[in-house]
A and B are shown apart, each in its own frame.
Chain A
Amino acid sequence: MILPALLLIPFLYIILAILIKSKKVKTWLSFAFSLINLGFAIWVMAQVFEAGMIKTQMGSWPAPFGITLVADRFSAFMLLVSALVFAVVTLYSIQSVDTARIKNGYFLFAHGILMGVNGSFLAGDLFNLYVWFEVMLMGSFILISFGGERAQLEGAIKYLILNLISSFFFVAGIGILYGKMGTLNMADLSQKIAQSGDVLSQLSPAMVLIVVGFAIKGALFPFFFWLPASYHTPPPAVTALFAGLLTKVGIYSLIRIYTLFLYHSTSFWNPVVLWIGILSMVIGVFSASSQYDFRKILSFHIISQLGYVVIGLAFYTVAGLAAAIFFLGHNMISKTNAFLVAGWVHRERQTLNLKVLGDMFKKNTLWGVLFFISAFSLAGLPPLSGFIGKYLVIKAGIESGHINVALVALFVGFFTLFSMVKIWIEVFWKNTPPEVEAPVNTKPLPHGLMISASIILALAIVGMGVFAGPVVNFCEMAASDLLNTELYINFVLK
């Protein structure tokens, strides 16, 4: 019964936001609803922790025919982390987003994204997944194009076009699949494919289309170009939200279909996914090192970090998948927090060009420490969550015999560290270059809510690193559930 709640809560907020006029009420309601959503996510987590999987058949129609909402451990984990990220970003947005945007329904569309994200994590059939993708795309396109400066629109258009192409591929794949198999319920499809041995080779066009659709969504090589082109244009809070949620949904779906369908022909898909992962890691990190914009560097690092998740998937062992899941969760939190800090810098200095920034550590030590935590978590330094994630991925790689891949991952880690230290030095440590005029407002703008949002995430990062044991155990359970396809099929179709 609680699964639909995760969809209905954001939906209810959207209704209220349409009906209520007062800006203040809307703003705080938004935060309240994000907290309620977080509460439900925790509840789902608690239930899944006990039961392993829970499901709801919408409208009481039985599984292969009706709409099924399923939450296994992986979904529950993603739901929880995304709810946390969303709540924090909402808190942050209250102070950071300008009045005009809030008036025009910033929170409304943010909740639209949340609804889409929750839906995607819960969807039990491919078509629903597609619908939730579209919901997400709609909300995110409006958020990214709000304001309408030239650079922003340019980014928004790129974002829209490539994401529409992704949707097109996805829906085309779904069409082929439905024509061949007559069902779209994922469990049912998986079962049918498993039963009819060689049918998968006929389905490869559909699978290729779907994988490409997810790869575009997840900003993987060679489809990542929309991400760095668009993420540095909207207000920082929006970027933080996108960085935390959007691409991760693509990766989530990739893992889902890999463990349900693609594993039947690993000999083909495994190298493909592995190479996608490796190239994403390497190219992302190299491209980042030639950038000089705070958010662009972080954006490129999203790509390279998702590469880690994908290689974890490609190892296709319990350890590999557990590492992928853990890394996904870690990256959502750390990356969002890094963008939150970027948002503060942007608010203070109206620019994010590393060459003209400086002195920020002197301006506010705490923000400096917060950046330090998130950046060095991304770079994989102990005792932060990133270290655990990276360690798990590399260890899984060695254990599954992909020692070269593990070494590449390590190497990429060092480049990440390099980029992060570059940002730290350029933004926080060095003096503002003398030719740059000192910013006019010497008095710091209010940032109480912003900083408390960031502190929450920083605590989560440290907590995930220090108390990693239970989290990793959970991820391992989730991974073994994912590998045990029968379990999922039987549970959904029972």
Chain B
Amino acid sequence: MIGFTTLENSGFLFNIYIGILLAGLIGIFVVSEKLKPYLSALVVLLVSLITSLIAIQGINSNGLEFLIPGGSFIGDIPFRIDALSAWFMLIINLTMITGVFYGIGYLRAYKPIKSIITLHWILLVLFQSSMLWVCMVQNSIAFLIAWEIMSLSSLFLVLFDHADSKVIKAGINYMVQMHLSVVFLTVAFIWVYFETGTFDFKGIDIYFGSNANLWLFVVFFLGFGLKAGFMGLHSWLPHAHPAAPSHVSGIMSGVIVKMGIYGIFRVITFLKADFILLGEIVLTFSVLTGLFGIMNAAVQSDFKKMLAYCTIENIGIIGIGIGVGLIGLGKDQNVLIFLGFGGALLHVLNHSLFKSLLFYSAGSVYQQTHTRDMNQLGGLIKKMPQTALLFLIGALAIGGIPPFNGFISEFLIYSGLLAGIHSVDIAQTTLMVVSVAGMSIIGGISVFAFTKTFGTIFLGSARTELHQEPREVSKIMLFPQYLIVLVMLSVAFFSGYFLNVILTILNGSFHVSMEVGNVDYLRYSSVLQHISLYSFLFLAGIGLIYFIRKSITKNRESTYQSTWGCGYVAPTSRMQYTGKSFTKPLSKLFNFVLIEKKNFNELKSNEIFPVSRKYSSSYLDFWEHWLINPATKYLDLFIDLFKFIQNGRIQAYVLYGIIFILIVFIGTVFHSSLQ
């Protein structure tokens, strides 16, 4: 293990943190309805501040450790904050701060019951703390408790919109899958306990030191992967994210999914062997996850669902980084470790930034239009220019386009793959080549998908009449988004600083020693900085030209014409290219994964005057359709068997009893004759 230092000071900070948390929870419960949101924001802010201080100490001091008494059962709960935990804690805090402020504005549109609002804010505060605990504790029981609190509090946050039965259904789906994850994790932890006799995470270290690494890691990976949303384990995401209120989906997609990634990283820090095999597995799985996620994202017409699938894609990218890093660990090549793990860690930060930005701006659209179907929207750039700009920035960042931050981490991972191609064996080389291809396809479709989404929602003209005229959202909702943009740009322009932090993390947590400031690593950051700079200059140039043009044309008269319709004189909004038609070729191409479901009545030939008809189509999730739905169906049938046993006939019950007694009697006879 890494040498942890115990600091008096951090224990003190921790006590303050607990004090603020408790006071805050009680305070939110007590104060008037109007103050609740602001108080919650204050509590989140303070908690973030203090835990960030702890986290920064953790990074600087190569790991903190302090014990919190946990009663006679768990014993002292070890809180260990190494650089890895600290990194995730900072990400959580940042996302929570933006989320809570955005949430204040977002919830203003709702007028629900007081008790529900109270519950919502209390859970939000609790949710933050539970995620922080997940990062801090290193005792499996305490970890599972924190994990469970995190799942449940987020479940009730998802269930905010209680009037909608779809939301309820999504919530139940979410809960069941989260518990599947807990089952895997518990099995893994019990396994460790059974072999080593300790609930401390050091037990995992001991286990990996003396046993085969593969299977335990796989169980952990399944447990954490369910949270992270790897392909096949992802099916809660596309349901829960659209169902939740937007600030919650932003936080969920931004950080709760990353807790799964945190878990995987945490287990990797204990790994002792089988690196290459595991790396290959993770890499393959992740490439498929990315492809699957982005293909589905491209064809969705519900824009929040689209963002949810896009999260799956990004988890795939992070997973590719992890896979590369694992192979690097196996081959003992520091460059691969740096590029793989470093890229993955940085992408965790980046994704949390731009995905929350996208969810927030999408939430603004939803708040103003009350629909999530992009094919009903259009031309919103004129009504909501700032939101449109923010969404565009998010979309560019997620597509990995410089000068935004998504580019940096994806570049690192690409470099990792490329560096891997000429530095490992033929088997991995093949895998790397395929992965590079896969990742470029992912990137391409990603740009494609966001072009479609942005174009359909913000460009063109409105496709349907909305109930109310959409307006730009309030400042309190815009402010957090600008904050995110600021952080995103800082990541892009000061990537050298961030890479140094990541080197610290890798040194602190992954049994490697990489000199901070080594040219090998800084090479990448200077390249990145240059690219960022030039692309920013390019953008600035565009902006400059725009302003010059505007100032020139300011005093001139200009006329606006409607869009040229190829000579057609009365173009309507329905003649626009829809999102669906945009992606039709893609869905045709990949129709073995993208299952289209069409709802319409066939036109029968003998109908003389056909009545008006409806046509709609949607895309089914491949895994849900072929794996999860059949599985639940059989589970239902299985559970119905028990209904048959409990059939209400008293004779039958007596009969069961008599059969049992007979069996036991016969058992006693055999038993005594055996003796």
Contact = CB atoms under 8 A, between A and B. Distances in A.
A binds B: yes
Contacts of A176: none
Contacts of B149: 382
A356 interface: no
Given A381-B152, A417-B179, A431-B162, A212 B645 contact: no
A18 to B, nearest CB: 34
A385 to B, nearest CB: 12
Contact of A162 (B152, B194, B650): B650
A201 B643 contact: no
B162 A212 contact: no
Interface in A466-485: 468-469, 472
A437 to B, nearest CB: 18
B664 A398 contact: no
B163 interface: yes
Interface stretch (A37-45, A70-78, A224-232, A452-460): A224-232
Contact of B171 (A268, A286, A406, A425): A425
Interface size class of B (residues with CB under 8 A): 35 or more
Interface size class of A (residues with CB under 8 A): 35 or more
A201 B669 CA distance: 9
A287 B182 contact: no
Given A272-B667, A287-B643, A391-B141, A225 B115 contact: no
B642 interface: yes
B653 A283 contact: no
Given A225-B653, A388-B73, A287 B660 contact: no
Nearest to B652: A225
A465 to B, nearest CB: 10
Nearest to B636: A290
B518 interface: no
B116 interface: yes
Contacts of A350: none
A407 B187 contact: yes
Contact of A362 (B113, B165, B171): B113
Contact of B159 (A158, A222, A223, A425): A425
A212 B660 contact: yes
A319 B74 CA distance: 15
B553 to A, nearest CB: 54
B672 A222 contact: no
Interface string A368-393: 10000000000001100001100110
Interface string A181-204: 000000000000000000001001
Interface string B157-179: 00100110100100110011001
A425 B145 CA distance: 22
B193 interface: yes
B163 to A, nearest CB: 5
Interface string B638-675: 11101101101010111011011100110110011001
**Residue with the greatest number of chain B CB neighbours at <10 A, chosen from A208, A394, A429:** A429
A492 interface: no
B116 A205 contact: no
Given A287-B646, A362-B115, A407 B639 contact: no
B260 to A, nearest CB: 18
A205 B148 contact: no
B183 A411 contact: yes
Contacts of A418: 175-176, 179
Given A268-B667, A268-B668, A410-B186, A162 B648 contact: no
Contacts of A267: 671
Contacts of A382: 145, 148-149
A410 B193 CA distance: 15
A208 B179 contact: no
B179 A414 contact: yes
A368 to B, nearest CB: 7
A152 B667 CA distance: 38
A361 interface: yes
Given A268-B668, A398-B193, A430-B162, A361 B115 contact: yes
A429 B650 CA distance: 36
B178 to A, nearest CB: 10
A392 B648 CA distance: 35
Contact of A421 (B145, B172, B183, B194): B172
Interface SS, A side: helix
Given A162-B654, A283-B645, A290 B190 contact: no
A351 interface: no
Interface in A157-178: 157-158, 161-162, 165
B71 interface: yes
A162 B653 contact: yes
Given A165-B654, A204-B672, A272 B116 contact: no
Contacts of B656: 222-223, 225
Interface string A343-380: 00000000000000000011001001000000000000
Contacts of B671: 201, 204, 265, 267-268
A216 B186 CA distance: 33
B127 to A, nearest CB: 15
Given A283-B645, A286-B642, A398-B190, A469 B657 contact: no
A25 interface: no
A368 B118 CA distance: 13
A268 to B, nearest CB: 5
A481 B187 CA distance: 33
Nearest to A397: B190
B654 A272 contact: no
Contacts of B145: 382, 387
Contact of B642 (A165, A201, A287): A287
B675 A226 contact: no
Given A398-B193, A468-B71, A469-B71, A414 B183 contact: yes
B26 to A, nearest CB: 14
B185 to A, nearest CB: 11
Given A158-B650, A381-B152, A469-B71, A205 B115 contact: no
A211 B665 CA distance: 12
A425 B642 contact: no
Given A268-B667, A283-B642, A398-B190, A201 B672 contact: yes
B168 A165 contact: no
A185 to B, nearest CB: 24
Nearest to A382: B145
A229 B647 CA distance: 9
Nearest to A364: B115
A403 B190 contact: yes
A392 B71 CA distance: 14
A157 B649 CA distance: 12
B190 A216 contact: no
Contacts of A422: 172
A406 to B, nearest CB: 7
A251 to B, nearest CB: 17
A429 B162 contact: yes
Contacts of A222: 656-657, 659-660
A95 interface: no
B72 interface: yes
Interface of A: 157-158, 161-162, 165, 201, 204-205, 208-209, 211-212, 216, 222-223, 225-226, 228-229, 265, 267-268, 272, 283, 286-287, 289-290, 361-362, 365, 368, 381-382, 387-388, 391-392, 394, 398, 403, 406-407, 410-411, 414, 417-418, 421-422, 425, 429-431, 468-469, 472
25 contacts: A201-B668, A205-B665, A208-B664, A209-B661, A212-B657, A223-B657, A225-B650, A225-B656, A229-B646, A267-B671, A272-B664, A272-B667, A286-B638, A286-B642, A290-B642, A290-B643, A362-B116, A365-B118, A398-B190, A398-B193, A398-B194, A410-B186, A414-B183, A422-B172, A431-B163
Interface of B: 71-73, 113, 115-116, 118, 141, 145, 148-149, 152, 155, 159, 162-163, 165, 168, 171-172, 175-176, 179, 182-183, 186-187, 190, 193-194, 638-640, 642-643, 645-646, 648, 650, 652-654, 656-657, 659-661, 664-665, 667-668, 671-672, 675
Pick the 5 closest A-B CB pairs, nearest first: A225-B653, A204-B668, A365-B115, A201-B672, A287-B642
